[in-house]
Amino acid sequence: MLVTNITTGLDRQTKDIVKSTVPLLQERGEDITKRFYQLLFKNNPELKNIFNQTNQRKGNQSKALANAVYSAAFYIDELEKIMPQVKQIAHKHKSLNIQPEHYPIVGENLLAAIKEVLNDSADEEVLVAWEKAYSVIADVFISTEKEMYQEAEKTIGGWSGFRNFIVVDKVVESDVITSLYLEAADGEPCAIHQPGQYITVKAEIEGAPYNYLRQYSLSCAPGGGAYRISVKREDGLNGHPPGIISNYLHSDINKGSILPITAPSGYFTLDSQDTRPLVLISGGVGLTPLLSMLESTIKNQPEREIYYIHATQNGKVHAMREAIQKLDKKHDQVHTYTVYDNPTDNDNKFYDKVGYIDYNYLSTILPTNNAAFYFCGPKGFMQSIYKSLSQFEVEDKDINYEFFGPSEEIKD
Ligand SMILES: Cc1cc2nc3c(=O)[nH]c(=O)nc-3n(C[C@H](O)[C@H](O)[C@H](O)COP(=O)(O)OP(=O)(O)OC[C@H]3O[C@@H](n4cnc5c(N)ncnc54)[C@H](O)[C@@H]3O)c2cc1C
Ligand code: HEM
């Protein structure tokens, strides 16, 4: 897609006006996107079927959207600079089956929110400029997503939208994590995913006013027939209610149940052309995309050194511990390390360190910083790993990570 052609559709004056709103967006961006979501769900309550309402309550989706709007305004002259961000968002949109007809609805409510929040600071000229700019930005998203949907449809076993899958097996992996094995209910093949990708599950719960959509990383190597997702049951800490869909998947979904899912999506994928050491670092249920990378590298790059470091509380919540240890014993290329912060008496021979993964630990166990690093886990964990990798002088180009929710700031 020629983004430069699309940007030239905006006249100089419009671009200058949009750019002049950058400081305001920096200051009031989140107020705008919070108001936008209020208006969106008031005017279009059916969109509650698509948006994760827990992310709305936590406020992290408003932040992610504010950052995207800010970047779009900042780079309105050279939209190609935000294409990596657009692609990342488009993967999430594709996984949620967002369609072109949704864009005018979002545009209308976003402009209404800009008008309301900026009030005196946004005259008619500013609103007209933003309307034009939104249309250009929306077109960039729509054409990027169109390419992705077309690609998904033409892939062998691929599809767009939701497709019914049958749960062919359910395996308890730890006190809190359970895996579901999924095969297409139509008996046809399903697309081979890239290690690190995720699918979206649609849960239609009887009596609930809306559907729920949630993403789950595929935790198996590609090409094994069934997809596997491994779900942590969220018990609801600090007075918050238990997680709706993780509990539903643990309790109400069993062998034989049908789950509608979208095709594999996501930009957090393994570069299997790279032959340098692979370093995988996970915290808690963040192990899922990394397991797919681990299994796939063993299968396809038997010469590549793999360092897999996993941190969790203790053996009770450590999923797939035995399976990973078997891989370590069987394949010389695999070196695994386990870090528990609260080990039980039964855990003695299973961990390498008590505490947390930090720079000192990484620099002791890893032979080099010239490697490909992939990590995933809770927000605090991710920020701490990023900091440790920076201390270890790992180049940013070698650092890959994914948040299990709307994108967040990696630098704490
Ligand atoms: C790309 C991606 C990949 C993912 N992969 C996996 C995976 O492989 N395995 C996995 O288990 N999960 C994964 N997730 C997370 C998953 O999508 C769900 O978010 C998770 O299962 C929780 O969903 P839920 O419906 O159970 O919880 P929700 O009901 O959405 O609640 C989530 C959490 O928020 C808390 N909460 C509720 N209300 C509030 C509030 N007002 N303020 C603060 N906290 C609140 C709940 O107690 C709970 O802990 C992934 C997410 C993404 C984006
Ligand atoms: C130009 C317009 C748009 C921009 C800039 C935008 C931006 C974003 C961003 C930044 C995210 C977070 C992605 C992540 O961090 O993973 C996101 C997610 C999402 N977007 Fe969009 N978006 C746009 C249009 C739309 C439209 C038209 C819809 C459909 C109604 C939509 C629905 C969603 C949903 C459902 C999510 C996931 C939210 C969640 O689960 O909490 N977006 N978008």
Torsion 392-395-398-402 (CA) sign: positive
Among 88, 98, 142, which residue has the most ligand 2 atoms within 8 Å of its CB, making it the best to mutate?
Answer: 98
What single string gives the DSSP state of each residue in 167-224?
Answer: EEEEEE-SSSEEEEEEEETTS---PPPPTT-EEEEEE--TT-SS-EEEEEEB-S-TTS
Nearest to residue 213, comparing CAs of 265, 168, 176? Answer: 265
Q: Contact 295/218 with Cβ under 8 angstroms?
A: no
Q: What percentage of residues in the chain have a pLDDT greater than 90?
A: 93
108-115 LR contacts (CB < 8 Å, sep 24+): 108/43, 109/36, 109/39, 109/40, 109/43, 109/44, 110/32, 110/36, 110/69, 110/134, 112/36, 112/39, 113/32, 113/33, 113/35, 113/36, 113/39, 114/32
Q: Which residues contact 347 (CB under 8 A, 6 or more apart)?
A: 314, 315, 340
Among 228, 240, 292, which residue has the most ligand 1 atoms within 8 Å of its CB, making it the best to mutate?
Answer: 240
pLDDT of 1 > 60? The answer is: no
pLDDT band at 169 (very low <50, low <70, confident <90, very high): very high
pLDDT in the model for residue 295: 97
Query: How far is the centre of ligand 1, averaged over its atoms, from the C-alpha of 11 (Å)?
Result: 43
pLDDT of 6 > 90? The answer is: no
Q: Contact 264/191 with Cβ under 8 angstroms?
A: yes
pLDDT in the model for residue 315: 97
pLDDT in the model for residue 2: 39
Torsion 331-332-335-336 (CA) sign: positive
Give all domains of the chain, ordered by start, each with its CATH number: 3-154 (1.10.490.10), 163-261 (2.40.30.10), 278-402 (3.40.50.80)
**Which residue, judged by its Cα, is nearest atom 1 of ligand 1?**
404
Pick the atom of ligand 1 nearest to 236's CA: 47
Asked whether 137 lines ligand 2 (CB < 6 A), one says yes
pLDDT of 64 > 70? The answer is: yes
Query: How far is the centre of ligand 2, averaged over its atoms, from the C-alpha of 33 (Å)?
Result: 11
Ligand at minimal distance from the CA of 86 is 2
If you average pLDDT over residues 312-329, what whole number do you get? 97
Tens digit of each residue's pLDDT (9 = 90 or more) over 253-303: 999 999 999 999 999 999 999 999 999 999 999 999 999 999 999 999 999
> What is the total residue count of the chain?
412
Angle at 203 between CA 378 and CA 249, to 5 degrees: 60
Tens digit of each residue's pLDDT (9 = 90 or more) over 82-126: 999 999 999 999 999 999 999 999 999 999 999 999 887 778 999
**Which residue, judged by its Cα, is nearest atom 38 of ligand 2?**
51
Ligand at minimal distance from the CA of 89 is 2
Measured CA to CA, the distance from residue 53 to residue 61 in angstroms comes to 10
If you average pLDDT over residues 170-174, what whole number do you get? 98
Q: Contact 301/334 with Cβ under 8 angstroms?
A: no
Residues flanking ligand 1, CB < 6 Å = 54, 57-58, 198, 214-217, 230-232, 234, 236, 240-246, 285, 288, 402, 404-405
Q: Contact 178/230 with Cβ under 8 angstroms?
A: yes
- CB count within 10 Å of CB 282 equals 24
Query: How far is the centre of ligand 1, averaged over its atoms, from the C-alpha of 243 (Å)?
Result: 6
- Written as six digits, the tokens of 318 are 């450590």
pLDDT of 8 > 90? The answer is: no
Mean of pLDDT over the chain:
95
pLDDT in the model for residue 3: 42
pLDDT of 339 > 50? The answer is: yes
Tens digit of each residue's pLDDT (9 = 90 or more) over 347-387: 988 999 999 999 999 999 999 999 999 999 999 999 999 99
Q: Which residues contact 42 (CB under 8 A, 6 or more apart)?
A: none
- Strand-pair partners of 218: 229
**Which residue, judged by its Cα, is nearest atom 51 of ligand 1?**
404
pLDDT of 4 > 70? The answer is: no
Indicate the range of 155-159, 213-217, 408-412 predicted with least confidence. Answer: 408-412
Asked whether 113 lines ligand 2 (CB < 6 A), one says no
pLDDT in the model for residue 67: 92
pLDDT in the model for residue 184: 97
pLDDT in the model for residue 412: 81
Ligand at minimal distance from the CA of 405 is 1
